[in-house]
Amino acid sequence: MRLQTNFVAGLVLLLFALAASAAGIDEKYPEVHQYFPTATRFGEMTGTPPAAPVYKGSDTIGYVFETKMVAPVPAYSGEPINILVAMDGDGKIVGTKVLEQHEPILLVGIPVQKLYDFVARYIDHRVTDDIVVGGGGGGKGSVNIDAISGATVTAMVANETIMNSALKIALSRNLVSAAAINGIAAPAKVRMDYFQPATWQTLTGNGAIRRLNVTRAMVAQAFAGEPMGLVIDDTTAAPLAGHEGDTFVDLYYADITPPTVGRNMLGKSTYDDLMHKLAPGDEAIAIVGNGLYSFKGLGYVRGGIFDRVHVMQDNKLILFHDSDYQPLLDTQLQGMPAFQEMAVFIIRHSYDFDPGRPWTLQLLVRREIGPLKSIYSTFTATYQIPPAYVVLSAPPSGGEMRRLAEGGSGLWMRIWQQRRVDIAILGAGLILLTLILTFQDWLVRRPVLLERIRVGFLIYTVVFIGWYELAQLSVVNIFAFIGSLLHGFQWTTFLMDPLIFILWGFVAVTLLLVGRGVYCGWLCPFGALQVLISKAAKYLRVPQLELPSYVHERLWAVKYIVLLALFGMSLQSVNLAERYAEIEPFKTAIDLHFMRSWPFVVYAAGLLVVSAFNSKFYCKYVCPLGAGLAVAGRHRLFEWLRRRRECGRPCQICANECEVQAINPIGQINYNECHYCLDCQVTYWNDHKCPPLVEWRKRLERVNRREEPKTQETVEQTFAKTPAAPTG
């Protein structure tokens, strides 16, 4: 009895599960009724890719789908943005709704409503529209949609997500064809492995060789009402009675790249030689003709361009230059009649010619009506290669179609192309910083020049890297990187923001070489802002409040505790860690320019005010990013900061002057806390400040007063021999 009861209960649960799985999407998302007010029924998610059909009676009037199930595009957080999209039967988007997102800047910075408003702008756009985010970079006919201010990368990912998914669904349900999306379908490829013996009759019969026949009557009709030519026997004039059907020009033309056409026509050796001359993407066509009119003419002799014969595909005119011409002296095609003119022309790959799509041969006929004046008429004939000779590309997926529409590059490549000027400016700044580090020994002996360079670079960091480019690194980036390693690493996740990616690459190199100090001392916008405030405060003689060394050394540990706490939260929930990462004031002070609610502004401004009295207070004691960089840079390869034996024993000048108190009482530099400001190196070479150099300078002065033959060069060599103490 108990077994029967369990069986019945299990059967009931199974029926409930099946009923739930078969429920229409309107039960899960009731808002779809607003998108399709005339719908009578909503289906369940079915098909590949999955989408729920919408019915009006027995007719399908649209589809509803989740982008995460169709074409997930990793966003800056590493997770895709999931958007509900409704599309009617004509491929028009009629509804959108953000279902899920984990973007850090939206979680703790910019209101998420801005993302909702952004995706709503896609309503009434068709899947075939070329939508460009940010108002730039689009071609003719593109549709511009404003980006989310301060979250451009998120906006571009949302655009990619919606359009990729919509295109994929539209193609799979035959709402649109690949051919309807101009320039997106991949070009066909000629089957170079396919060869069949063929005759003239075979190739003209299957359409591989086409004909353009123009009679004298057709030409006369084209020029009817126009002035007569200069010559008496003008072949473009009306013919004599009975000669209306005389041939003016009789052309045959073919794409001879397919072996079945070209190899049969030219012979194997001539065909192979021609194919070796073609670059990838080039196409060869042959034109042969008889009649009164030469299709080659003499224009190419005078100007290098064949002015009588052209090719047109998709409204793109293809011209032939003399370098595109190959003489055709003989043919091997069985049954081919004799022709008085024969030529091979090369369509260069720069034209993006698609051999699988129709094209048109144009013949320009000229009538001279004056010594320097002519009039023209054009005769055309179409061409479509036989399907057996090419491989037509399968309808591309949504993501592939968008990438092809963008010139073959992915979303991240388009972002990099659009921001190439910003990338160049950042690259120039990083090159300058590299030179500063490389020639630091030369610069520190010129303290005035170094101070000007440092202040200028800090202003560049705050204004350009920080406030303008919003390229402030954050501990959130570290969590995103760790999360990506744990859940499937993808480079595209980090390539979405080129400046952040380049900065992290530079930081990684400097961490390996000299530790955390280069970023914290030169490239952190919030850190640079604190240094500039501190310098201004010292110039205005604001009293500096330094903590005792025993308190200072214990407060160092706070930032490591903060880092561990945030890291632990990230293992449980990245969203939770990102929210508590608001202990970083970067988003308020740098990314959002203090345009936030007053608690965030008070916190960030308070830290900046404190830095006027205690230099870089936040960096020394609170910053989890600095702690993370210190841990990562602990095993650096070099220690480029010079020290002397006397440093700390008894000299304490550098230790007292260090803005972050990274030099201990015995003169050792703590590279885990050093911000690489180079102030200690300026003192190291200052013979009016560094006690060993002061002693040597005074000895030199005494020597000079006694007029001993001691040169300046000898003294500098003596200074250089002063032994240096190891650093800690």
Average pLDDT of the residues in 232-254: 87
Q: Which range, 149-153, 156-160, 693-697, has the best average confidence (pLDDT)?
A: 693-697
pLDDT at 178: 56
Amino acid at 376: Y
The yes-or-no verdict on residue 325 having pLDDT over 80 is yes
| pLDDT of amino acid 137 | 47
Mean pLDDT of 716-727: 49
pLDDT digits 0-9 by tens, 638-675 = 888 998 888 888 888 998 889 898 998 888 899 999 99
Report the distance separating Cα 127 and Cα 181, nearest Å. Answer: 9
Q: Give the pLDDT confidence of 85-104 residue by residue, as tens digits.
A: 999 988 899 999 999 887 75
Phi and psi, residue 255, nearest 5°: -80, 115
> Is the pLDDT reported for residue 19 higher than 50?
no
Residue 280: what pLDDT?
A: 87
- Asked whether 326 and 344 are in contact (CB, 8 A), the reply is yes
Residue 77: pLDDT band (50, 70, 90) is low
Over residues 124-140, the mean pLDDT reads: 69
Q: How many CB atoms lie within 10 A of CB 50?
A: 15
**What DSSP element (H or E) covers 215?**
strand 209-215
Report pLDDT for 171. Answer: 83
- Name the token pair of 212: 């353009």
Proportion of the chain above pLDDT 70, given as a percent: 82
Q: Which residue has the higher pLDDT, 561 or 233?
A: 561
> Which of 186, 154, 592 lies closest to 415, judged by CA?
154
Question: What's the confidence (pLDDT) of residue 404?
Answer: 41
Query: What pLDDT is recorded for position 723?
Result: 47
Q: Which residues contact 609 (CB under 8 A, 6 or more apart)?
A: none
Phi, psi of 280 (to 5 degrees): -55, 130
Average pLDDT of the residues in 453-477: 91
pLDDT of residue 407: 38
Residues 285, 325: Cα–Cα separation, whole Å: 10
**Is the dihedral angle over the CA atoms 97, 101, 105, 111 positive or is it negative?**
positive
Instruction: Report, as an integer, the average pLDDT of 572-600.
Output: 83
91 within 8 A of 173, measured Cβ to Cβ: no
pTM of the full structure:
0.56
| Across 15-40, average pLDDT | 74
* pLDDT above 50 (res 399): no
Confidence of residue 180 (pLDDT cuts 50, 70, 90): low
pLDDT of residue 665: 83
pLDDT over 50 (residue 162): yes
The mean pLDDT value of the chain amounts to 83
Q: Which two tokens stand for residue 616?
A: 């870089």
Most confident listed range (137-141, 230-234, 363-367, 406-410): 363-367
Q: Tell me the pLDDT band of 204, cut-offs 50, 70 and 90.
A: very high
With 80 as the cut, is the pLDDT of residue 140 above it?
Answer: no
pLDDT surpassing 60 at residue 192: yes
Q: Given this model, what pLDDT does residue 315 score?
A: 65
Q: Note every long-range contact of 497-501, with CB atoms under 8 Å and residues 24 or more positions apart, other chains counting.
A: 497/76, 497/153, 497/415, 497/471, 498/412, 498/415, 498/416, 498/419, 498/422, 498/423, 499/419, 499/422, 499/423, 499/426, 499/465, 499/469, 499/471, 500/471, 500/473
pLDDT at 232: 66
Q: What is the pLDDT of residue 15?
A: 44
Per residue in 296-317, pLDDT (tens digit) is: 887 665 556 788 898 988 767 7
Q: What pLDDT, on the 0 to 100 scale, is given for residue 420?
A: 87
Task: Return the pLDDT at 707.
Answer: 57
Higher pLDDT, 114 or 199: 199
Q: Residue 521's pLDDT is what?
A: 94
Q: What pLDDT sits at residue 112?
A: 79
- 126 in Cβ contact with 46 (< 8 Å): no
Q: How far is residue 411's CA from residue 490's CA, in Å, rounded to a whole number? A: 14
Question: What mean pLDDT do residues 488-507 have?
Answer: 80
Q: Residue 151: what pLDDT?
A: 63
Distance, in Å, from the CA atom of 346 to the CA atom of 352, rounded to the nearest integer, reads: 13
Split at pLDDT 50, 70, 90, the class of 558 is very high
Report which of residues 87 and 238 the model is more confident about.
87
- pLDDT tens, position by position, 697-717: 888 888 888 755 555 555 455
Q: How far apart are CA 83 and CA 67, in angstroms?
A: 5
Tens of pLDDT, residue by residue over 254-278, are 999 999 999 999 999 999 999 999 9
> What is the predicted pLDDT for the residue at 85?
95
pLDDT at res. 181: 53
Residue scoring higher pLDDT (283 or 407): 283
**pLDDT for residue 183:** 45
Confidence of residue 16 (pLDDT cuts 50, 70, 90): very low
In terms of pLDDT, which residue wins out, 515 or 408? 515
Tell me, what DSSP letter sits at residue 663? B
Q: Which two tokens stand for residue 414?
A: 């388009």
Q: Is the pLDDT of residue 347 over 60?
A: yes
Structure confidence at residue 9 (pLDDT) = 52
What value does the mean pLDDT take over residues 65-91?
A: 84
**Range from 134-143, 217-226, 263-272 carrying the lowest mean pLDDT:** 134-143
Task: Please determine, for residue 577, whether its predicted confidence score (pLDDT) is greater than 70.
Answer: yes
pLDDT value of position 182: 45
The full set of domain ranges for the chain reads 2-180, 189-391, 419-639
Q: Which residue type is seen at 466?
A: G
Check residue 617 and give its pLDDT.
Answer: 94
pLDDT of residue 470: 83
Terminal CA-CA length for the chain: 79
